[in-house]
Structure 1
Amino acid sequence: MDAALLLLADSRLPAGGHAHSGGLETAAATGVVHDLATLAAFLRGRLATTGLVMAGLAAAACAYAHECAGSEGDGPPGDAVPVRPGARARTAAWAGWVRLDAEADARTPAPAQRRASRAQGRALLRVARGLWPGSVLDLLTGAAGGPHQPIVLGAAVAAAGGAPVRAAQIAAYGSVTGPASAAVRLLGLDPLGVHRVLAGLTAHVDHVAAEAAESVRVGDLPAVSAPALDVFAELHDRADLRLFES
């Protein structure tokens, strides 16, 4: 993986990811996750559901960003829209981003998760525009409420010169590393043990990323669900005391 893309996979990237637990805070509060074994089960489930969806969206956004950069405004992945110059090209390109954002919305049924995704998307977009200025990332600033995080991630990977599979890898990787880091802080788990759990998931992360990168057409995006994570998100949103934003 190119060094530029490692920046996007780094938890130290100042995009606010450290403030979100991916449902782990509620899972810990309810006793669903309480040790390394239950953390491993939680992460496997999250990777196979939310992780796959995020990876698919990121890969599709990356592919579309490359299309926009190369043809000045094709339609969304898999659609045939004529190339149009100037403002009309931007309008055509924007329609594709709107459609991808709507696909992300449809795959994020919990309102609390939608808000968290858009908050992270806004933060990541601010960082990405500073690192890799360009018209595609500038266009995403027009999304109402801010674009979803995996959409921005895919566009940022494209801006950094990465391929859709790299966007999928970073999204899948982030879907487990964020909650794993939260588990250390919330449960006081041994960091070495937590990283052994993550090491055991690396092959699964690669598999999910490869599967996601094969489905960059809008109509083929993965749409698996995780109802427990949706419930956790809403419970967390209503909690009086919490360490994380989500």
Structure 2
Amino acid sequence: MSAVLLVLADSRFPGGGHAHSGGVEEAAARGLITDENSLESFLAGRLRTNGLVSAAFAAAAVDGDWSTLDVELDARTPSPAQRAASRAQGKSTLRAGRVAWPSPRLDALSQPHHAIAIGALVHVAGGTAEEAAECAAYLSVSGPASAAVRLLGLDPFRVNAVVARMDLAAVVEEAVKGLPMLGAPALDLFADSHARIHQQEVRLFVS
């Protein structure tokens, strides 16, 4: 495991992920996540949909055209709230990454999708497509898992075990083969609903 992957996947990396629950807050509010078992089911589904798409685009961004990929990912993100959350995280991740791995190549990016930012940073740091995919896949479940601990007071040791059981290797293997055409309608609906409710009442997470 390279240093770039360790840094980007570290929860202390100031990429703004702490402000996003990845749909967990809305799912918990609806009573769909109540314990470690229901969280594991949610995360497994998220990994195989949103996580796989993010991993594939992060991998492609290591050697691909960032502007074209950004448009492609936008087209695969029908939820306005999901797009806004992805670009907010992308902007924060890029801001921190420019300090860690300064490169004029990053000047071509302003507010990319999160996955594109991950792939771009792995590229300038000399990493591989597999590392970018693994980082994106891991972040797609680790952030929401952390949010569940904060929202529901779940046992952090058991939640960490849930994340450790996620089959990241299978997702990475599929992600580096090409760009999937996958959707996650429930996550889209959760994101848009959360955004509407967030305008009316205070919630812990932005998304």
**TM-score, length of structure 2 as denominator length:** 0.96
Q: Residue 28 of structure 1 corresponds to which residue in structure 2?
A: 28
Q: Determine if the alignment matches structure 1 residue 121 to structure 2 residue 82.
A: no
Task: Describe the superposition over 1:109-141 as per-residue Cα deviations: whole angstroms up to 9, x where unpaired.
Answer: 100010111111111111111111112211112
State which of 149, 152, 174 in structure 1 corresponds to 2:117. 152
SS at match of 2:33: coil
Please state how far the C-alpha of 1:180 moved relative to its aligned partner.
0.3
For the 8 Å contact 1:27–1:33, the answer to whether it is kept is yes
Aligned mates of 1:167, 1:29 — CA distance in 2: 32
Q: Determine if the alignment matches structure 1 residue 244 to structure 2 residue 205.
A: yes
Aligned mates of 1:97, 1:159 — CA distance in 2: 13
Unaligned runs of 5+ in 1: 65-95, 216-220
Higher-Rg structure is: 1
Aligned mates of 1:4, 1:205 — CA distance in 2: 18
The one-letter amino acid of 2:170's match is H
The one-letter amino acid of 2:206's match is E
SS at match of 2:32: coil
Aligned mates of 2:4, 2:131 — CA distance in 1: 11
State which of 107, 110, 118 in structure 2 corresponds to 1:138. 107
Unaligned runs of 5+ in 2: none
Q: Determine if the alignment matches structure 1 residue 176 to structure 2 residue 151.
A: no
Q: Determine if the alignment matches structure 1 residue 231 to structure 2 residue 207.
A: no
Aligned mates of 2:66, 2:183 — CA distance in 1: 22
State which of 137, 160, 172 in structure 2 corresponds to 1:209. 172
Question: RMSD in angstroms over aligned alpha carbons?
Answer: 0.9
- Stretches of 4+ aligned residues off by more than 3 angstroms: none
For the 8 Å contact 1:5–1:160, the answer to whether it is kept is no
Aligned mates of 2:127, 2:90 — CA distance in 1: 19
Q: Residue 186 of structure 1 corresponds to which residue in structure 2?
A: 151
The one-letter amino acid of 1:59's match is A
The one-letter amino acid of 1:63's match is D
The one-letter amino acid of 1:121's match is G
- Number of residue pairs matched? 204
Please state how far the C-alpha of 1:194 moved relative to its aligned partner.
0.4
Aligned mates of 1:163, 1:135 — CA distance in 2: 19
Q: Determine if the alignment matches structure 1 residue 39 to structure 2 residue 39.
A: yes
Task: Describe the superposition over 1:84-131 as per-residue Cα deviations: whole angstroms up to 9, x where unpaired.
Answer: xxxxxxxxxxxx322111111011110001011111111111111111
Task: Describe the superposition over 1:24-47 as per-residue Cα deviations: whole angstroms up to 9, x where unpaired.
Answer: 000000001111110000000000
Aligned mates of 1:164, 1:139 — CA distance in 2: 20
Q: Determine if the alignment matches structure 1 residue 164 to structure 2 residue 129.
A: yes
